[in-house]
Amino acid sequence: AQSVTQLGSHVSVSEGALVLLRCNYSSSVPPYLFWYVQYPNQGLQLLLKYTSAATLVKGINGFEAEFKKSETSFHLTKPSAHMSDAAEYFCAVTSSGGSYIPTFGRGTSLIVHP
């Protein structure tokens, strides 16, 4: 079985501040982990993914995430928030065995203040 937990349904930051969105996973086999972004009234767009090649993963729009096995975490960060980063962010997990169907977290809404 696999699952993800996203801590905080809403995160509010000021423009230029650090963005930190938390994701913890549970998986009985080595996981593959993903972050997706959803802008209002749009579909999900892949930001980045962890596939065991490197624990620090860089994605689009300046985002990155670090896989920490000991903490079962895959938190998403960006050094400096931009107004255009305001969106819903979803963490997802698939496992190295099985049907590879992603399981998503509940999402975190990022609010960026000027």
Site string for other proteins, 12-51 (x = CB under 8 A): --------------------x-x-x----xxxxxx--x-x
Rounded-to-integer distance, Cα 98 and Cα 112, Å: 38
Q: By CB under 8 A, tell whether 95 contacts other proteins.
A: yes
**What is the Cα 69 distance to its own chain's centre?**
15
> 71 to 90, contacts with other proteins by CB under 8 A?
90
Q: By CB under 8 A, tell whether 5 contacts other proteins.
A: no
Minimum Å gap between C-beta 53 and other proteins is 9
Give the range of 11-19, 69-77, 79-87, 97-105 binding other proteins by CB under 8 A: 97-105
Tokens matching residue 42 = 């749009």
Tokens matching residue 14 = 């000021």
* Phi and psi at residue 34, to the nearest 5°: -140, 150
Nearest of 103, 94, 49 to residue 76 by alpha carbon: 49
Amino acid at 107: G
Q: By CB under 8 A, tell whether 102 contacts other proteins.
A: yes
List contacts with other proteins (CB under 8 A): 6, 9, 32, 34, 36, 41-46, 49, 51-52, 90, 94-107
